[in-house]
Amino acid sequence: MLQTTRPTFLAGAAVLAVLVLAGCGGGDDKKADGKEAAGARQTVTAATVTQINLARTVNASGSVSAWEEVPVAAETGGLTAVAVYVDEGSYVRQGQPLVQMNDVLLRAQLRQQQAQVQLAEANVARDNAALDRAQQLKERGFLSQASLDTALANQRSSNANLAAARAALSQTQTQLSQATIRAPVSGLIISRSVTKGQIIAAGTELFRMVRDGRLELDAQVPETELSLVRAGQSAIVASSEAGQTTGSVRIVTPEVNAQTRLGLARISLAPGAQLRPGMFARAEIAVGDQPALVVPSSAVVYREAKAGVYVVGQGDVVRFAPVTTGVRSGDRVAVTGVQAGQRVVVQGAGFLGEGDHVTVAPATAAPQPATPAAPAPAAAAAR
């Protein structure tokens, strides 16, 4: 009886030992799983999206044009150009001769009309004297009223003839002066369409000038930034062909193109610029300090060719937020697409994916330079 009970006891003890060992082994597995889950969190640093005032610029581009184009045309027609004094690219002063037309016939007409004026003046003098005599005779009773009226009519006719002769003379003098085509304003000649020997018709455009040589850039500004641009703001204008120059906004037109959604800012260019009408140029317009949301530059990463930041949410879970970057200031960059106060990942952002869990660690300060150690008292005593 004693021998039968002993083997049964030993078997039960063995089963109990196996169960205990199994229970201990399961605990080790759970601890290992916990360690692996904890190890899946990446340690990163984060920064808060802040709003500050930044010196902002608006980028625009467009074509260079004349501030004011002035066409130069002939007022007197039917004459031949006998001399052309300027060419394209010449800078001329107001009143400077540009073209001389053949004025021989006009000068002959001028001499003829000068003689007509002299003749009319002589007739006026004669009829004035005749009228005076007729009035004296009439007062004495030696002349009838009809004769006096005739003398008065002759005197008035002579005065009218003199006025007509003088008007014709003035017309010929004007035509003679118009035979020399002069610059109506000071400026730069940008086109010429007259040649020597050409018969010029009245109203024919001969030159086109840029008034005072002033150029401006017709800068096309997106409608979202048009409200920031105002007259008087400074700008830097650059072209790959003509280098860089400065300018200032002269006017912002009130209309926005319905197809392109672009407004127009006319930027007056500084004198001496190498730009030419028709050239393409870019402008950076300084619009002053503007409020902007900024994040560290290293927080901006690219996913599928889109710029964005990883925003740390509840439970330290990150999500990718697309942003549009703007002006940079030191190691910070202005962004749109996030809100002030949000936390974004800085260090480690390039290794994250959507929905990752992170551990946010405090940003480490830059190491300070080591200071030399003080000498030991014993060494000081030895010296």
CATH number for 274? 2.40.30.170
Residue 32 lies in a domain: no
Of 261, 289, 317, which marks where a domain is finished? 289
pLDDT band at 20 (very low <50, low <70, confident <90, very high): very low
Residues 189/87, Cβ–Cβ less than 8 Å: yes
What CATH number does the domain containing 120 carry?
1.10.287
CA distances from 73 to 99, 179, 182, 202 (A): 10, 11, 10, 8
How many contiguous H segments (helices) and E segments (strands) does the chain have? 4, 23
Q: Domain containing 242: what range?
A: 58-67+214-289
Residue 20 lies in a domain: no
Of 271, 289, 307, which marks where a domain is finished? 289
Identify the weakest region by mean pLDDT among 142-146, 272-276, 298-302, 365-369: 365-369
pLDDT recorded at residue 251: 94
Q: Which two tokens stand for residue 340?
A: 């002030």
Of 289, 306, 336, which marks where a domain is finished? 289
What CATH number does the domain containing 315 carry?
2.40.420.20
Residue 238 lies in a domain: yes
Residue 281 lies in a domain: yes
- In DSSP terms, which residues pair with 296 in a beta bridge? 332
- In DSSP terms, which residues pair with 350 in a beta bridge? none
Residue 120 lies in a domain: yes
pLDDT band at 283 (very low <50, low <70, confident <90, very high): very high
The strands making up 205-211's β-sheet, listed across from edge to edge, are 69-73, 205-211, 187-192, 91-92
Q: What's the mean per-residue pLDDT of the chain? A: 84
Do 267 and 149 reside in the same domain of the chain? Answer: no
Residue 198 lies in a domain: yes
Do 343 and 227 reside in the same domain of the chain? Answer: no
Residue pLDDT, tens place only, 148-186: 889 899 999 999 999 999 999 999 999 999 999 999 999
Distance CA(323)–CA(325), nearest Å, equals: 6
Residues 75/178, Cβ–Cβ less than 8 Å: yes
Residue pLDDT, tens place only, 213-230: 899 999 999 998 899 999
Which of 6-10, 26-30, 92-96 is most confident? 92-96
Give percent of the chain with pLDDT exceeding 70.
84
Rounded to the nearest 10 degrees, the angle between the axes of helix 145-178 and helix 104-140 is: 160
Domain count of the fold of the chain: 4
pLDDT recorded at residue 363: 54
pLDDT band at 40 (very low <50, low <70, confident <90, very high): low
Residue 284 lies in a domain: yes
Residue 267 lies in a domain: yes
